[in-house]
Structure 1
Amino acid sequence: MVDQPALTPGQRVEKLRRGVGLSRERLAGLTGLGASTIKFVENGRRSLTLNVAQRIAPHLGVHDLGDLFGPSVTLSLDGRATHPAVDDVRRALTAWHITIDGQPESTDYLRGAVDSAWQTWHTSRNQRTEAGLVLPGLLDATQRAARLHTGADRRTALALLAQAYHLAQAYLAWHGDRELCWLTVDRGMAAALDADDPLAIAGSIWYAAHILRAVGRGDEALDRLREARALIEPRVADGGVEYAEMLADLHLCTALTRARTGDQGAWADWDTARQVVDRALPDGYVGLRTRVSRPLVEVYAVMCAVDLGDPDEAQRRAHSLDPQSIPSTERRGRHYVELARSADLEGAREATLHLLTRAEATSPETVRFSPAAQDMAGRLAREAPAAIRAEASELAHRISSPPV
């Protein structure tokens, strides 16, 4: 192992990168990361995560991650769930109904149950706990219905089953086994394809793109999103408002995926989404499941600017966006986390702490289970000026304490 005990992980990355003769831009291109991500890791504005370390290590000639993190860093392989309901959701996902009888719930009942679960997700301050309570029963009911119904009712039940899997993915995204997330993606896509429903298929691609992007397969995510847009766009004119909502959602997801790789072309997709929302969605429209709306388009603008490493643009975009207009408690909490990331990029530690505190007050579980929020809070607790260090340490302790 390279003996560099005095160097931070970011300094180690920079030294190794220079040693193999790679620019930041070239390393970013090889790994699918943004050049801004490499820059902020190296200068200490962003912590080196295990995911990023695994992606850059082969290109830096690193075979032992201790060369990046240092000998004093312990990498835990403990796969315990970080939310108490994960085990119940796992059992519901892997309880195959080999034999099944009785009468299924009606598709009208199931639609109401799925819609209610999504409404809870977006309105509860502790959405993961409440989703964890309803998901096992929801998965069971929709799985049974998809097996027992026939004809058009079966297709409707399959589309609703896909939505139940999507909610499970949203719940599992920041905790639990990665394999469980992939299971929800694959099951959701299979149900949507069996339903032969363009909206269900496009929605499943939207959810698949998020996990593909998260594991460094951004190019695949963009390919799948392109296919979904080609499926939906010809149907927008005659297919009703749901098709316009889906098209906007797909462009927003594309914009964020491109921004995560440092591609300034993200703004073109963001602008297309904005035009779709402005022209095709009624004033005040809010999508039930992903909360597509005019305020959400502006939320994505802030996210794109942060991921492109442009805190000035992020703050400019956020200036006229009233967080209270964001039609989702969960998304509002995540918006405050994004603003905290913007402040963190500029080294404004007091502002970072203030915004993380606002995020926690808005949605405690959004902050508790956000890797970005955990990272910022941990660094503030270690590095913040003495005047705010105690407050930062209290915040870090609160959001790292195990849920009850």
Structure 2
Amino acid sequence: MTAEQPTTPGQRVERLRRAAGLSRERLAGLSSLSPTTVKFIENGRRGLTLRAAQQLAPHLGVRDLGELFGPTVALSLDVRPSHPAVDDVRRALTAWHIKIDGDPESPAYLGGAIDAAWQTWHTSRHQRTEAGLVLPGLLDSTQRAARLHEGDDRRTSLALLAQAYHLAQAYLAWHGDREMVWLTVDRGLSAALDSDDPLAIAQSIWYAAHLLRSVGRADEAVERLREARGLVEPRVADGGPEWAEMLADLHLCSALTRARSGDQGAWSDWDAARRVVERALPEGYVGRRTRVSRPLVDVYAVMCAVDLGDPDEAQRRAHALDPASIPSTERRGRHFVELARSADLEGAREATLHLLARAEATSPETVRYSPPARDIAARLAREAPAAIRAEAVELSRRIGASEL
């Protein structure tokens, strides 16, 4: 008589879903996951992450996540790796200066500093380490300028302060305290609103939408993005290219948000972004801060296809996209991670490992701090065929995923 095989987390999800009388589509809608994600969790083609388990549990009647993961799985409450500079950035965000004096930096100087910081973010292979070095000083300088300047200089300084908070959000998103990320979003939006700059306000909503989506509030994110487009769209025809850039970015964010909710309407937002970039932006245009460009639109197409659970479409979209054309090292690394996710959905272990290795070679910190990349690497280390297992284990070790 053989011992009964232990059930997997995915099998437990499926059993509890059926017991609750829920279809995959209904459970996905309640949990703010896509139906494809639920399907792949159940059949083992995607690992059950702690975040997904937390979203599923209330609708499966689960109060102890051990019911999903099983008694042999150890879970850490701190599942995200931390970056060495997080403490310095946290101190800069929570240093409430009651009294500020002296001469503030000029808005022109601060604008140059902000642009240089974003340029470093997009060109360095170790963008989080580089950002962690400059963020504390950048936050202090922009906070001082917003307090000490008056009139138009103050409004400009407030818009730049919002940008400093956006960079802090990008830095903290994958390895900072969730409360600190919320703080950057709230302060960034507050500074933008005080600046009375519609472009700054729209960009702050773009950043807020990313956080809303990540905590399961996709409907709110899509609605806020729609409101932001209302601020921007009337100014596209007569404004500079930054207005068209922002409009395209808002559509791209909405497309990704809808895709991660399993909404095929994501493609209508993606197509709207494509039309804006092709018709309203000069050939070869690249946005300074979020790198809006024709190649980035194609990157988002791959991301949407992966999140909609369509690896064939993801590969078709990626076929004509030269990764070298992506105008950001960080985004190029993330693109390889998305291609690895697509290969993972198809069960192509060798291709998945190859693409993760390319992502790491492009931007080691993007892979080290990316939750999907770490999850895939950890599973490969456990489950890859013997021919590539040693390589998978070594990659998992290098990016710190071996403990997952």
TM-score (normalised: structure 2):
0.97
Which amino acid in structure 2 is aligned with residue 345 of structure 1?
Answer: L
Range with bigger deviation, 309-318 or 68-77: 68-77
Does the CA-based 8 Å contact 1:122-1:331 persist in structure 2? yes
How far 1:5 sits from its partner (Å)?
7.6
Aligned match of 1:250: 250
SS at match of 1:82: coil
Which amino acid in structure 1 is aligned with residue 319 of structure 2?
Answer: H
1:135 aligns with 2:131: no
User: Which whole-Å CA distance do the structure 1 matches of 2:80 and 2:229 have between them?
Assistant: 38
1:357 aligns with 2:357: yes
Question: What pairs up with 1:4-403 in 2 under 5 angstroms?
Answer: 6-78=6-78, 82-400=82-400
How far 1:81 sits from its partner (Å)?
6.1
How far 1:75 sits from its partner (Å)?
2.0
User: Which whole-Å CA distance do the structure 2 matches of 1:355 and 1:85 have between them?
Assistant: 28
How far 1:401 sits from its partner (Å)?
7.3
How far 1:44 sits from its partner (Å)?
1.2
Which amino acid in structure 2 is aligned with residue 263 of structure 1?
Answer: D
Q: Which structure 1 residue ranges, 5 or more long, are not aligned?
A: none
How far 1:20 sits from its partner (Å)?
1.0
How far 1:78 sits from its partner (Å)?
3.9
How far 1:74 sits from its partner (Å)?
2.0
Does the CA-based 8 Å contact 2:125-2:330 persist in structure 1? yes
Which amino acid in structure 2 is aligned with residue 342 of structure 1?
Answer: S
How far 1:130 sits from its partner (Å)?
0.3
User: Which whole-Å CA distance do the structure 2 matches of 1:199 and 1:286 have between them?
Assistant: 17
Change (3 A) 1:226 1:80: closer
How far 1:77 sits from its partner (Å)?
2.3
User: Which whole-Å CA distance do the structure 1 matches of 2:199 and 2:308 have between them?
Assistant: 30
SS at match of 1:297: helix
Does the CA-based 8 Å contact 1:79-1:176 persist in structure 2? no
User: Which whole-Å CA distance do the structure 1 matches of 2:256 and 2:196 have between them?
Assistant: 27
SS at match of 1:284: coil
Does the CA-based 8 Å contact 1:81-1:87 persist in structure 2? no
How far 1:375 sits from its partner (Å)?
0.5
Identity of aligned residues (%): 81
User: Which whole-Å CA distance do the structure 2 matches of 1:221 and 1:197 have between them?
Assistant: 21
Q: Which structure 2 residue ranges, 5 or more long, are not aligned?
A: none
How far 1:52 sits from its partner (Å)?
1.1
User: Which whole-Å CA distance do the structure 2 matches of 1:83 and 1:30 have between them?
Assistant: 33
User: Which whole-Å CA distance do the structure 2 matches of 1:272 and 1:253 have between them?
Assistant: 12
Range with bigger deviation, 231-240 or 322-331: 231-240
Which amino acid in structure 1 is aligned with residue 46 of structure 2?
Answer: R
User: Which whole-Å CA distance do the structure 2 matches of 1:39 and 1:338 have between them?
Assistant: 19
Which amino acid in structure 2 is aligned with residue 34 of structure 1?
Answer: S
Does the CA-based 8 Å contact 1:5-1:71 persist in structure 2? no
User: Which whole-Å CA distance do the structure 2 matches of 1:265 and 1:150 have between them?
Assistant: 45
SS at match of 2:236: helix
Which amino acid in structure 1 is aligned with residue 395 of structure 2?
Answer: L
SS at match of 1:238: coil
User: Which whole-Å CA distance do the structure 2 matches of 1:251 and 1:199 have between them?
Assistant: 15
User: Which whole-Å CA distance do the structure 2 matches of 1:78 and 1:308 have between them?
Assistant: 28
Does the CA-based 8 Å contact 1:81-1:177 persist in structure 2? no
SS at match of 1:261: coil
Q: How many residues align?
A: 399
User: Which whole-Å CA distance do the structure 2 matches of 1:33 and 1:144 have between them?
Assistant: 42
Cα deviation digits, residues 90-124 of structure 1 (max 9, x gap): 00000011100000001110000000000000000
Cα deviation digits, residues 122-151 of structure 1 (max 9, x gap): 000000000000000000000000000000
Q: Which portions of structure 1, spanning 4 or more consecutive aligned residues, are displaced by more than 6 angstroms?
A: none
Change (3 A) 1:268 1:104: same
User: Which whole-Å CA distance do the structure 1 matches of 2:90 and 2:299 have between them?
Assistant: 32
How far 1:353 sits from its partner (Å)?
0.3
